[in-house]
Chains A and B, each alone.
Chain A
Amino acid sequence: MAARTVRRATAAILTGAVALTAAACSHPGNGAAGSGGPKDSAVVGIAYEPDTLSPLLGYGKDGNSKIFDGLLAFDADLKLRPALAAALPTVSADGLTYTYKLRPGVKFSDGKPFTAKDVVFTYRTVLDPKTNNPSRTELDALEDVRAVGDDTVVFTLKYPYAPFAERTVLAIAPEHVAGRQDVNNGPFTTKPIGTGPYVLTGWSKGEKLTFQANPNYWGGAPAVKKFTMAVIKDDDVRATRLRAGDLDGAILPPNLAANFKTDKTKKTYAATTYDYRTVTLPTHNEVTGDTAVRRALDLAVDRQAMVDKILEGAGKPAYGPVPTGSPWFAKGTERRHDLAGARKILDEAGWKPGPDGIRVKNGVRAAFPLWYLSGDKLRQDHALAYASDAKKAGVEITTQAGTWEVIEPRMKTDAVLAGGGSPGDPDFDQYLLLKSALAGDGFNNMAWYDNKAVDRALEEGRRTDDPAQRRAAYDTVQRELVKNPGYTFLTHIDHLYVVADRWTTDAGDLTTQTEPHDHGLASGPWWNVEDWKPKGSGATAK
């Protein structure tokens, strides 16, 4: 702890005293958590630990951090609602100016008021090239941000970007703390201060993060006073500690979650996701670059079998980055498993079966390598199933494992079993995956997909705010993907959580949000732990 001002120290002591009182009232026993533990504390097991808790370095960029708030936040259905902003933004007619009025009376957990200056500081710092923020590209559209008085923030964009409001769920850092130290390595990266429902009380790296309810939270003090995230990388150990009562909830792979089905005291939640697994079909490979081969593989693959066998039912067939359950999904673009159809397409395109059953056209064998990330069992299973399905249509796929360092230089010509997915706007995934100008730019457009109709539709989709026009644009993209699939999308994977059946919310049972590819800290049923109430004890006023 560095030297602090008297005011901050006082605030810290006060917060601590309140926390202690709260803890003392609610802890008649020895503080042991678990199923029989105090009802106002919750302990969950997570598999990944964040690298940093500083929003300036990328933490909380997708909203829903327990320590911070963004101007806006997502609800359970991923609809935007105001958080630090008093209302949704007003957008200028040309789509280039977004104006936010701020919620009055909000304070950081150290007692200092939150103002427009903090918003400007946060966005400007993220945009600063000296800040080591790997997600800066997401704010590419942002030209400038400025404060008008203490309670209004105006964003100016370089080009009209319809989903911009969804980027403003970015967590806001306090300028009076984070602005006075090294952005990349200062103490703020591990000892953050925010406006959120919880205050970080400890981060023992590799072990756990502990949170205390923020008694002055603008949304009302949470009923769950203590919240702990235990970092347990090993799936088996996490399951063991959940069973032992050391944890109240945990994320688990399907096979381990299945063991808790008979446990009456626990509930399993399957979060639907945008987390897809796909095979890239590089344009620069003479086999996968052939539209006939792409279309044939799209039909030859048995997606339902992958969901049933590999995911044990916890997932859905995928036909594009947009999950079939999303309102943005273009109905009618589902492809049935049709091996005969696949063979017919290849026959008509001149890919004739050779002596070994593998098709040949103009001396080119219908064969290509497929890379997957070594050590990732799920990707390996998908790759093997895909290769076996392709073989039945006469296409030979050699699966190979490697690290990203090995795979990346080959992405231009070799197929890769890739994963990804960010919920929210259809622009987020599709633009990066399919825009021809982004081919080979980092990990964007890994397949070097190049389709003028798709390019046009992607631009239309992000430049207009009109819902009907946007829908038409993304329908076009999805229909083009049927005609010329640059990727074979395989599955969208459910994330499974097992949680002790001890809590409820005003709206009823616990819920999950639609989740992205990577497991954020606040994914899972505890995405809204601040709204949880202990079951049965009569809901306490929030």
Chain B
Amino acid sequence: MSRRLPWGAMARMTGRRALAAVPVLLGVTLAVFAVAAASPFDPVKAYAGTAGLTASQENLDQLRANLGADRPWLTRWWEWLGRAVTGDLGDSSVMRQPVADVIAERVGWSALLAATAFLLAVTLGTALGVLAGRRRGGLLDRAVSSAAYTLEAAPAFWLGLLAIWFFALKLGALPAGGLTDTASETVTAGQVAHHLVLPALVLGISQLPWFFLYVRQGVGDALEEDPVRGARARGLGERTVLTGHALRSGMLPMLTLIGSRVPELITGALLVETVFSWPGIAAATVQAAVSVDFPLLAALTVLATAAVLLGNLLSDLLYGLADPRVGFDG
């Protein structure tokens, strides 16, 4: 593994992908505006909430004009784009504050939660997958595999409720929700870490089966391939066989998986954030969607798309590194 990294090729691929991302992002925002405009939700009703039920038509019409909801979506998209390019993301109608503030307040907490959960899922999933793949049909394999299939079927929010019931209610060991102690006003690292455990665990565990099953399969198959048999025949130690041969090719499918799991991670985070009252971006996304809050929705979609594109880039880079035959985009 002591060869030099192909920095040049990697940078060229990153650059090509960044260029390709521009039309993708443009198309996605255009689609978001179109879909939102076609949706049956009415931004004025969403804005007014229960007050809208007693508001006069005149009041509602005035709101529609103030919010710009009476203009064609294509015009609104063009104006939004023009301002977004200059760094002005507009104002969120549903949050009553600038979009940039909404995102700045929340995205960090979502990223922290998702990154912790992802790390947990990848490391734990890989470790268990290697152990199970080494001895397929063994006790550990059977136990973890059946648990993994069960987990794959379990919705994240249900796991969340279960975790709250067990760890917070039965054991009283961990807080049931929030970013900090409910009564606390300041955000300290210790408190956040303490409160992060359950939601990250739940989100991580809900992602874990995918990594576990892929690695288990990959390692198991690799151990039966010719190079491994050859290595074994040459009398190489089991450890060398595993790390040097089986792991290398066995891990390849998982690298692709890392990129493709990002969207799942985002949707999973949504449910987990709701159950644990985690002040992340996920809840804002749903609110923006059902309230047809164009500026917020567009900004969040750009963020999510960028996350997916980055995830794919990352997995392709890793793949290229792990298997030089694949290379970096030709």
Contact = CB atoms under 8 A, between A and B. Distances in A.
Interface of A: 31-33, 37, 41, 43, 51-52, 54, 57-58, 129-130, 132, 134-138, 140, 182, 184-187, 189-190, 201-202, 204-208, 210, 212, 226, 228, 230-234, 236-237, 240-241, 243-244, 246-247, 403-406, 420, 422, 432, 438, 441-444, 517-518
Contact of A240 (B56, B92, B164): B164
Nearest to A245: B172
B185 A137 contact: no
A206 B107 CA distance: 13
A226 B92 CA distance: 31
B215 interface: no
A237 B161 contact: yes
Given A185-B97, A187-B97, A432-B54, A241 B181 contact: no
Given A134-B48, A444-B54, A226 B91 contact: no
Given A129-B62, A420-B53, A244 B97 contact: no
B57 A441 contact: yes
A190 B97 contact: yes
Given A240-B168, A405-B42, A442 B182 contact: no
Contact of A33 (B63, B172, B181): B181
B209 interface: no
Contacts of B261: none
Interface string B92-106: 111111100000011
Interface of B: 40-42, 45, 47-60, 62-63, 66-67, 91-98, 105-106, 161, 164-165, 168-169, 172, 175-179, 181-185, 273-275, 277-280, 283-284
Contacts, number: 171
Contact of A137 (B54, B97, B165): B54
B59 to A, nearest CB: 5
A443 to B, nearest CB: 4
Contact of A138 (B52, B54, B91): B54
Contacts of B161: 236-237, 240
Contacts of B55: 134-137, 442-443
B169 A52 contact: no
A184 B91 contact: yes
Contact of B51 (A37, A58, A201, A230): A58
Given A51-B94, A185-B98, A240-B164, A206 B279 contact: yes
11 contacts: A51-B96, A135-B54, A186-B97, A205-B105, A206-B106, A207-B277, A207-B279, A208-B182, A231-B277, A241-B182, A420-B54
B176 A132 contact: no
Contacts of B182: 33, 43, 208, 228, 230, 241, 246-247
Contacts of A236: 161
B54 A207 contact: no
Given A132-B67, A233-B274, 16 more contacts: A32-B181, A134-B47, A138-B54, A185-B97, A202-B185, A205-B283, A206-B279, A207-B279, A210-B184, A237-B277, A244-B172, A246-B168, A405-B40, A432-B54, A438-B56, A442-B52
B181 A31 contact: yes
A41 B181 CA distance: 13
B169 A443 contact: no
Contacts of B92: 185
Contacts of A184: 66, 91, 96
B183 A135 contact: no
B178 A208 contact: yes
B157 to A, nearest CB: 8
A207 B178 contact: yes
Contact of A132 (B47, B54, B284): B47
A443 B97 contact: no
Given A31-B181, A132-B66, A184-B66, A237 B96 contact: no
B56 A243 contact: no
A136 to B, nearest CB: 5
Contacts of B97: 185-187, 189-190
A237 B164 contact: yes
Nearest to A210: B185
Residue of A185, A187, A404 most packed against chain B (CB within 10 A): A185
Contact of B56 (A140, A190, A244, A518): A140
Contact of B96 (A140, A185, A406): A185
A241 B176 contact: yes
Residue of A58, A134, A247, A444 most packed against chain B (CB within 10 A): A134
A197 to B, nearest CB: 17
Contacts of B168: 240-241, 244, 246
B109 to A, nearest CB: 9
Residue of B59, B94, B183 most packed against chain A (CB within 10 A): B183
A231 B275 CA distance: 11
A361 B248 CA distance: 81
A409 B45 CA distance: 14
Residue of B106, B172, B181 most packed against chain A (CB within 10 A): B181
Contacts of A403: 40-41
A134 B52 contact: yes
A31 B96 contact: no
The 8 A-B pairs with the shortest beta carbon distances in the complex, nearest first, are: A33-B183, A134-B48, A134-B51, A207-B279, A185-B91, A405-B40, A189-B96, A518-B50
A403 B66 CA distance: 24
A238 to B, nearest CB: 10
B106 A205 contact: yes
Contact of A43 (B50, B164, B183, B275): B183
B275 A237 contact: yes
A523 to B, nearest CB: 13
Nearest to A205: B279
A244 B66 contact: no
A363 B205 CA distance: 63
B294 to A, nearest CB: 14
Contacts of B184: 31, 210
A454 B95 CA distance: 40
A22 to B, nearest CB: 12
A130 B67 CA distance: 10
